[in-house]
Amino acid sequence: MIGRLLRGGFMTAIYAYLYIPIIILIVNSFNRSRFGINWQGFTTDWYS
In the prediction, which pLDDT does 46 show? Answer: 84
In the prediction, which pLDDT does 10 show? Answer: 95
pLDDT tens for the chain, residues 1 to 48:
778 889 999 999 999 999 999 999 999 999 998 887 888 899 998 888
Collapse the DSSP code of 22 into the 3-class scheme (helix H, G, I; strand E, B; otherwise coil) and give the result: helix
Q: In Å, what is the CA distance from 35 to each residue of 1, 2, 12, 15?
A: 47, 44, 30, 27
The closest of 45, 12, 15 to 30, measured between CA atoms, is: 45
In the prediction, which pLDDT does 19 show? Answer: 98
